[in-house]
Amino acid sequence: MRAMVLHGTGPVEGRPLKLEEVPIPEPREREVLVEVDACGVCRTDLHVVEGDLPPLRSAVIPGHEIVGKVVQLGPNVRALSVGDRVGVPWLHWTCGRCEYCRTGRENLCEEKTFTGYGENGGYAPFVVGKEDYVLPLPPEGDSAGWAPFLCAGLIGYRALKTAMPRFGGRIGFFGFGGSAHLTLQLASRLGYETVAYSRTSAHLALAKSLGATETVLTTEPRSSPSPPLDSAIVFAPAGSVVIDALKEVRKGGTVAIAGIHMSPIPSIDYDRLLFGERRIASVEANTRADAREFLDLSAHLPLKSTVEPRPLAKANEALADLKSGRIDGVLVLDVRSSPT
């Protein structure tokens, strides 16, 4: 198969991913082989490719928002059948034995592995997933449309639960990319007041069309002060945005950080910005229970993803566009119909 392979990390403008012929992987015990229809392009892929996350192996195929169908079963697979539509997410495997796994916090597992980082991912026509970690998807809807749910949506869902453990209230979204566009819809549909903050007016227009109660262009002074937020989620990978969010959050509120990597957070004025039981909380990956809840909710509401398809061979260019913010919604590699 022809896959996009990373041999050495570097700025994405230097096109570190190479289209190469590699063997189709063989599913082992309790693994399945998935033929990839589509794979979302996530900011974490950018961190993997550029080396913000340290390399774990000499060569890896990125991609962890994978939608496809099961085409081959390894030995002793019981829960999945050939032909099932599935998603392969970031959380590839957990140990099941450590303190975190035993207390319902497998997202913090000491030995967990990740799709498209420690294990090969979906910038390829085929990928192997573990039966217990591959997520069954409904047959409805196009594959590209489901891709962003598998990380952008899932992380946003966990961030929403972290930021606002009770229903209702006024919640701010800082940085309006793939994750925010699904999470804002979810929050709006669940009855929260939603406020989108961005430097880009096109992103705010999208936020408005998805149900945002209010939008704030952060590059311009505001004519009148907005009411304080009950909580906020920071999706932007810039530490200074955490301070911006804290300034908007009332006493008792949480600023949840949804990214896996962030530039340093500037010093915090404790008396003014943190005192009053305000909290800053990071979000790391998600549990399988989060995934089941979120995919159920998404299908039921339903949530709509705004995707822009790209050919597999243009993965470097897609990542460069994501880095520069030249996109609305989510970029998805249309693997199935890409010429290889």
The verdict on 53 binding Zn ion (CB under 5 A) reads: no
Residues in contact with 269: Cβ distance below 8 Å, sequence separation at least 6, in sequence order: none
Greatest C-alpha distance within the chain? 64
The verdict on 109 binding Zn ion (CB under 5 A) reads: yes
**Min. distance of Cβ 222 from Zn ion in angstroms?**
32
Q: Spell out, one character per residue from 136 to 165, where the chain touches Zn ion: x when CB under 5 A holds, - when not.
A: ---------------x--------------
Among 37, 44, 285, 315, binds Zn ion (CB under 5 A): 44
Q: Spell out, one character per residue from 74 to 103, where the chain touches Zn ion: x when CB under 5 A holds, - when not.
A: --------------------xx--x--x--
Kind and range of the H or E element at 246? helix 240-248
The verdict on 108 binding Zn ion (CB under 5 A) reads: no
Q: Any idea of the CA torsion for 87, 91, 94, 96, to the nearest 10 degrees?
A: -70
**Min. distance of Cβ 281 from Zn ion in angstroms?**
19
Concatenate the DSSP letters of all residues of 289-311 into one string.
HHHHHHHHHHHHTT----EEEE-
- In the bound state with Zn ion, the residue whose beta carbon lies nearer, of 30 and 208, is 30
Q: Is 34 exposed, middle or buried (0-12, 13-18, 19+ CB in 10 A)?
A: buried
Its sign, for the CA torsion 128, 132, 136, 142, is negative
- In the bound state with Zn ion, the residue whose beta carbon lies nearer, of 144 and 249, is 144
Q: Which stretch binds Zn ion (CB under 5 A): 31-39, 40-48, 122-130, 209-217?
A: 40-48
Binding site for Zn ion (CB under 5 A): 42, 44, 94-95, 98, 101, 109, 151
